[in-house]
Structure 1
Amino acid sequence: MSPVFSHGDLRLYLLNLLDEGPRHGYDIIQALSDRTGGTYTPSAGTIYPRLAKLEEEGLVSKSVDGRKTVYAITDAGHAEVLARASDLEGIEAALTDSVRLIADEVRGNVREAMRSLRADLAAASREAQDSAPQAPPADDARGRSREQLNRADGIINEFRGRVRGDLRSYVARGGSLNAETVSALETALDEASHTLTRALHG
C-alpha cells in the first residue's frame, strides 16, 4: 500500500509527534509505523534529513542523551502545529482510512482463501464419488482412500502455510491484527469443517 502522507504532510506530522513530547529517532520511526497500521515504516534516511531541516528552520531542537539524540519541538514549532490544526485533522482521518482499508484487505484475503478451500474439498469429494467403482475390492478401496487422504493433507498444509504466511507478513510490517479478523477466520474454518463433514457423511 502506498504511503499515506502526501507532499508536506510528513513534515507536519513529525512536528505533531514531537509536540506530544521529546523523542529519539527510532521512537519517531516506530510511532509512524504504529499509527499507520504498518502501512508506512520510513527508513532512517527518510526521517533524519527531515528532522535536520526542521532544526534548521528553528522548529525543532536536539540534545544528546547518552548514545541517543533526542529531538524536541520549539516554541515556533508548537505555534505551527497550533496554526495547522485543521490540516492535522485531515492527516489523522487519512491514517484511519488507511488502517481500515488494510484490515478489510486482510479479511477479504482470508474469506477468499476459505472459499478456495471449501471448493477444493467439495471437488475432491465429488471426484472420489464419481471415480469409485462398484463394489471395489477392500484393499483397492483402502489404497485409494489413503491416496486421497494424502492429497487432502497436502491441500490443508498448503492452505495453512499460505494463510500463516500472509498473517505473519502483515503483522511483521506493523499491521494491527484485531479480534474481529481472527473471529472471521475461525468462523470460516468452522464452515469448511462442516462442509467436509457433510460431504463425508452425506
Structure 2
Amino acid sequence: MSPVFSHGDLRLYLLSLLDEGPRHGYDIIQALSERTGGTYTPSAGTIYPRLAKLEAEGLVTKIIDGRKTVYEITPAGHAEVSARAGEIDGIQADLADSVRLIADEVRTSMRAAMKSLRADLASATRSDHRPSEPTASEDERGRSRAQVSRADAVINEFRGRVRGDLRAFVARGGTLDAAVVDALESALADAAQGITHALES
C-alpha cells in the first residue's frame, strides 16, 4: 500500500494540526484518521516521538492535564507554519491524492478477492466438493495476479519516491524546470507504450 505522508511531511502536518489549537496525543491520532477517511491511523509509537522532537525544537510545549498530556504550539512553531503555508497546502493536496490512491487499491484488492472467491465457489460446486489439483491455467492465473500486485507495488514506490524528491527539491528553494517534467512525462509515456506492446505481443 502506498504511503500517506512523504518523508518529513508528517512532522509539518502535526505542527499545522496544533496550530489549529491544543490537542492531546489521542486527539491528534483521531484527527489524522478522520482527515484521511480512516485510511491512515498512526500508532502512538509514530506520533509521540515526533511530538517529542517538535518539543525539543522549541516548536511545541506540553502540559500535563490530569492523565492527559496536552500539546500546544509555541510562537516559533506558529511562525514555521506561517512561513511554510504553501508546503502545508501541498501536503493537503498530496494527502487527498494518497487517500484516493489507497481507496482505489483497497477497492481493487476487494474486487480481486471477491472474483477469486466466486471462482473458488464455482469450482467447488462443479467438483461436487471433491478435492482436486489446480489446473495449469489456474496456476498461471494465480502467478499473473501475484505479478500484478508486484507491479502495483513497484509503481506506487516509484510514484512516492519521485514525488518526495520533487517536493523536497522545491522546498529547499530549487527551481523545477518544465523540461524536467516534460522529460518525466515522455519517459512514462514510452514506458507505458512499451508495456502495452509487450502485453499485446
TM-score (norm 2): 0.54
| 1:47 partner amino acid | I
Aligned to 2:187: none
State how far apart, in whole Å, the 1-side matches of 2:2 and 2:71 are. 27
Unaligned runs of 5+ in 2: 130-201
How does 1:31-110 map onto structure 2 within 5 Å?
Answer: 31-110=31-110
State how far apart, in whole Å, the 2-side matches of 1:99 and 1:17 are. 18
Unaligned runs of 5+ in 1: 129-147, 152-202
Note the C-alpha offset of 1:35.
Answer: 2.4
| 1:11 partner amino acid | R
3-state SS of 1:7 partner: coil
CA gap of 1:122–1:41, structure 2 versus 1, over 3 A, is closer
How many corresponding residue pairs?
130
* Structure with the greater alpha carbon radius of gyration: 1
CA gap of 1:10–1:110, structure 2 versus 1, over 3 A, is closer
CA gap of 1:110–1:66, structure 2 versus 1, over 3 A, is same
- Do 2:19 and 2:78's aligned partners in 1 also have CA atoms closer than 8 Å? yes
What is the CA RMSD across the aligned residues, in angstroms?
2.7
Moved more, 93-102 or 26-35: 26-35
Aligned to 2:13: 13
State how far apart, in whole Å, the 2-side matches of 1:118 and 1:8 are. 43
After TM superposition, the runs of 4+ consecutive aligned structure 1 residues lying more than 4 A away are 117-125
- Do 1:2 and 1:39's aligned partners in 2 also have CA atoms closer than 8 Å? no
3-state SS of 2:42 partner: coil
| 2:14 partner amino acid | L
| 1:24 partner amino acid | H
TM-score (norm 1): 0.54
CA gap of 1:8–1:121, structure 2 versus 1, over 3 A, is closer
State how far apart, in whole Å, the 1-side matches of 2:59 and 2:75 are. 7
Note the C-alpha offset of 1:117.
Answer: 5.2
CA gap of 1:103–1:70, structure 2 versus 1, over 3 A, is same
| 1:52 partner amino acid | A
CA gap of 1:39–1:3, structure 2 versus 1, over 3 A, is farther
Aligned to 1:157: none
3-state SS of 1:62 partner: strand
- Do 2:32 and 2:40's aligned partners in 1 also have CA atoms closer than 8 Å? yes
State how far apart, in whole Å, the 2-side matches of 1:55 and 1:105 are. 36
How does 1:1-202 map onto structure 2 within 5 Å?
Answer: 1-116=1-116, 119=119, 127=126, 148=128, 151=129
Identity over aligned residues, as a percent?
79
3-state SS of 1:10 partner: helix
Note the C-alpha offset of 1:22.
Answer: 0.7
Moved more, 44-53 or 74-83: 44-53
3-state SS of 1:82 partner: helix
